[in-house]
Structures are given as structure tokens and as C-alpha cells.
Amino acid sequence: MWGIIATWRMAQEGISKASELLKDGGDAGDAIEMAIREVEDFPFYKSVGYGGLPNEEMEVELDAAYMDGDTFDLGAVAAIKDYANPISIARRLSKEKVNSVLVAEGAEKFAHKEGFERKNMLTDRAKIHYRNRVKEVQEQEITPYAGHDTVGMVCLDEKSKMTAATSTSGLFMKRKGRVGDSPIAGSGFYVDSKVGGASATGLGEDLMKGCISYEIVRLMKEGMHPQEACEKAVLELDKELKERRGKAGDLSLIAMNCKGEWGVATNIEGFSFAVATANEEPTVYLTKMVDGKCVHEVASQEWLDNYMKTRTAPLVEK
């Protein structure tokens, strides 16, 4: 059995490529890195890699992580600037016994020494988004940029190895140095090849409060199906946050277990995700929570066409 699941429609091309590799007995580490790089390189996705939206100082600071579920090797970078593929740097770091999570300048120095590709990640399009946002009334509250968020993936290969990985520019207009859940093990991602893995997108500040990816893996270890585990973890964290703090940020989770069964849960409307397994062609679904149960629907062709159209539409400076 093999499989790969990812947050958001934007992962579709990446997981399609990865599924070709997995079908031929490819490695879960190679497949997930390839899939995430595909998203990082596509300039029209505004919250991952090249073309990602900048922080309040108009700098693109990126977070990424990689975890191997066989060995628990784990590497991450946070607030790294000017490198094309943070996921590859994170994967490289996962091989280090110490110093495997690096931030900002330290991460950049490591990447430079290791010969990773330097790139100015701030596109003209992202600058227009930035200037438009500055002109808009300053919303006091920082919110995830609706619909184009972190890419998080879980992958299983034919040899039963599992991996998890994330990559993001975090929240648009975040403060310089702000780090979200995505490079934080247990919050943005977690994987154990004996059990399964999970990955998150949404408001990092709230996702971290529940160590939610770890919680889902823990629930699967107790015997829950990934769908049940995702629903329970999301509903509980959403409830706790509302009780204690009056509200909960966006929480969307994907998970896959070591049998290739998958699950998804969210507390928002219209969360999209992409999945491919030995039994299922790469497919994009939309999901929403109805009465504590998640309903997944295959995205219509119209929805898919409209998605690309709006992503690539010319951008007007306000």
C-alpha cells in the first residue's frame, strides 16, 4: 500500500507527481519532498515558497519541516529568507543529530554552506498584495489568509515508511520573526511509521495550543481511524479554545495511518485537500463540519477551474 494526503487544492500537482514515484516503489521521503517543492516553486500560491506573502516589513520569511516516521529524524527551518526550497533544507537538517532546527540567519548560513539555491522569494505580485493590504484599513487582528495556506503532507510508501512535511510563508503581515505551528513538531506535523501521521493548517497560534498533530497520531495509536481521530482532536481543541478564550482560530487537519486510510477535519467552511493512494487516483475534496461530522465532497470541475482562474487573475493595485 502507498498513499499521500495534503492540505489544500494547491497540493494537487505535487501529489500527482509524487504518486507516480510511489507507484513505482519510490521512497516516502523523496516523494514528499518532491511534492512540496512543486508547491514551493509555483509563483501563484501566496502562502508557500516563491510568491509567498511577506511579513509586515515586506520580507518573505518561510517556515518548513520534515519528519521521517521510521527513525524520527526531524529537521526544520523557521523565518528563513531568500532560499528557494525550505523543505529541502529541512530534510537535509533532519539528518543532523543536533542543530536540526534552525532559525533565520542561522538557517540561511547553513543553507548557503550546503549549497542550496538562493532566490529572492518576493515577487512583484506579492508586493502588490502587500501594498494593497497596507492601504486597506489596518485590521488589528492577524488572521490566516483565507484559502491559500500552508501545505502540509503525510506520505506512506510501499515499504511502510511514512513521512510528514510542511512549508509555508505563515500569516500574511505577520511580525518579523514570528513562527507558526508549521515547523513545530507535534503541532504542524507528526509521523510515526508504526501508527500514522498528521499535519495542520490554520492559525498557528491556536494549533500549537493543542499540539494537535501529535494528538491525532496519539488517538490513532489508541486504535482510532484517522477520520475519527481528526474529528475528535479538532472538535475538542475548538471547544476548549472557545470556552477558555471566547473564540478559536482556523483549525484544519489531514491524517493518514500506516494502512493508507485517511481522515480530515476542519472548523472552517470549504477546506480543500488532495489525496492519492494505491486505490484512489489523485483527487481534490472539499470538506466541512456538519454536526460534529466531517463531510467530504469531490471538488467539481467548475470549482477546480475557478480555483486556478482566481489564483492567476491579473492583480490590480488599489
Residues contributing to the site for ligand SD4 (CB under 6 A): 144, 149-150, 168, 170-171, 180-182, 201-204, 250
Give the CA diameter of the chain: 53
| Shortest distance, position 47 Cβ to ligand SD4, whole Å | 6
Using the minimum distance from each CB to ligand SD4, give the nearer residue, 75 or 249: 249
Q: Are the C-beta atoms of residues 29 and 68 closer than 8 Å to each other?
A: yes
Using the minimum distance from each CB to ligand SD4, give the nearer residue, 181 or 192: 181
Count helices and strands (H / E) in the chain.
9, 13
Cα first-last separation, the chain: 50
Look up residue 151 and give its amino acid.
V
Using the minimum distance from each CB to ligand SD4, give the nearer residue, 68 or 206: 206
310 catalytic, yes or no?
no
| Shortest distance, position 218 Cβ to ligand SD4, whole Å | 20
* CB-CB neighbours of 57 under 10 Å: 12
Q: What DSSP letter does each residue of 49-90 carry, written as one string?
A: STTPPP-TTS---EEEEEEETTT--EEEEEEE-SBS-HHHHH
Residue 250 vs residues 98, 180, 206, 222, 269: alpha-carbon distances, Å: 33, 13, 8, 26, 10
| Shortest distance, position 27 Cβ to ligand SD4, whole Å | 26
CA distance 201 to 22: 24
Catalytic residue among 71, 123, 143, 150, which? 150
CA distance 300 to 286: 9
Using the minimum distance from each CB to ligand SD4, give the nearer residue, 185 or 258: 185
Q: Are the C-beta atoms of residues 187 and 253 closer than 8 Å to each other?
A: no
| Shortest distance, position 182 Cβ to ligand SD4, whole Å | 5
Using the minimum distance from each CB to ligand SD4, give the nearer residue, 75 or 260: 75
| Shortest distance, position 101 Cβ to ligand SD4, whole Å | 15
List the catalytic residues. Answer: 150
